[in-house]
């Protein structure tokens, strides 16, 4: 069985972070493992508090797994300060590294900044060069390139600029662009591709970014090339949103096992 490791924060409500990543890996037939970078106090309505894990513990979680287990892909999510970013980078540089998918958790769906500038710079300096794929949303791409993104052409320009930051491949997620169809721009340094999706009328979209990037990592672990891995991940996250779950009083989670439930006849 293929194996993937997620390095990210824990979401106590189960819809995002480590929990979403592990569910996504399993839904793709990939065994999931985790290195927890932070524990959050949150539900479907808001984040109340956060406790970051000591950098040495994060480093140890990563290295001990590589000493024992063959890992075929790594997904990186929330690493919220410079010391944590440096610990993750040091750990990954010390192992035989498989492809890494980095979801730069810098700015939330609502546009709220989650990383200060020093941490953003550290992310670019230390983790971008180690990553095979970077998956910023519109707001994160704007922060990385220092200019507004209003069109598909702007997304393509930003993707090119992000590759100049020592990234290898990039997916600029267009869900916040406001077009009639949601469009992601993929760029591998040679070719641009556009992936168009349709809007799903639901407020239950908690954890979509985590789930999408983990689906890319899972598909890469299974040997899929970049464009195929992202296309399959796009199809998966669309289905997970279409079958999203009305759990809690706020923004519910996507349904990571919608295909399995359908086969089992569970509504």
Is 265 an active-site residue?
A: no
Catalytic residue among 6, 208, 211, 238: 208
What pairs with residue 195 in β-bridges?
184
CA distance 218 to 75: 9
Catalytic residue among 173, 175, 252, 254: 173
Contact (Cβ atoms closer than 8 angstroms) between residue 35 and residue 58: yes
Is 210 an active-site residue?
A: yes
Is 173 an active-site residue?
A: yes
DSSP 89-127: HHHHHTS----EEE----B-TTS-B-S-HHHHHHIIIII
Closest Cα to residue 85, out of 108, 134, 52?
52
Is 6 an active-site residue?
A: no
Catalytic residue among 17, 44, 77, 210: 210
Closest Cα to residue 225, out of 99, 131, 60?
99
Catalytic residue among 9, 17, 174, 207: 207
> Which residues have C-beta within 8 Å of that of residue 82, sequence separation ≥ 6?
118, 119, 122
CA distance 253 to 245: 6
Contact (Cβ atoms closer than 8 angstroms) between residue 160 and residue 185: no
Question: What is the chain's Cα-based Rg?
Answer: 17
Catalytic residue among 14, 32, 209, 252: 209
Contact (Cβ atoms closer than 8 angstroms) between residue 254 and residue 204: yes
Active-site residues, by number, are: 173, 205, 207-210
């Amino acid at each position: 069985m293929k194996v993937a490791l997620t390095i990210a924060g824990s979401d106590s409500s189960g819809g995002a972070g480590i929990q979403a990543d592990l569910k996504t890996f399993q839904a793709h037939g990939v065994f999931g493992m985790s290195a927890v970078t932070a524990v959050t106090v949150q539900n479907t309505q808001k984040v109340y508090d956060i406790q970051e894990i000591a950098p040495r513990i994060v480093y140890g979680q990563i290295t001990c797994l590589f000493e024992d287990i063959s890992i075929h892909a790594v997904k990186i999510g929330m690493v919220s300060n410079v010391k944590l970013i440096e610990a993750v980078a040091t750990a990954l540089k010390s192992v035989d590294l498989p492809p890494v998918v980095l979801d730069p958790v810098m700015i939330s769906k609502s546009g709220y900044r989650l990383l200060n500038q020093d941490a953003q710079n550290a992310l670019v300096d230390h983790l971008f060069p180690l990553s095979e794929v970077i998956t910023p949303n519109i707001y994160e791409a704007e922060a990385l390139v220092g200019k507004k993104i209003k069109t598909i052409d702007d997304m393509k320009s930003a993707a090119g600029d992000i590759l100049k930051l020592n990234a290898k491949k990039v997916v600029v997620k267009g869900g916040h662009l406001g077009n009639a169809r949601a469009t992601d721009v993929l760029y591998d340094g040679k070719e641009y591709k556009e992936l168009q999706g349709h809007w799903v009328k639901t407020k239950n979209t908690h954890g979509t970014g985590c789930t999408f990037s983990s689906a890319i990592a899972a598909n890469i672990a299974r040997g899929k090339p970049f464009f195929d891995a992202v296309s399959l991940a796009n199809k998966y996250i669309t289905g997970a949103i279409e079958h999203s779950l009305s759990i809690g009083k706020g923004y519910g989670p996507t349904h990571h096992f919608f295909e399995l439930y359908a086969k089992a006849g569970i509504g």
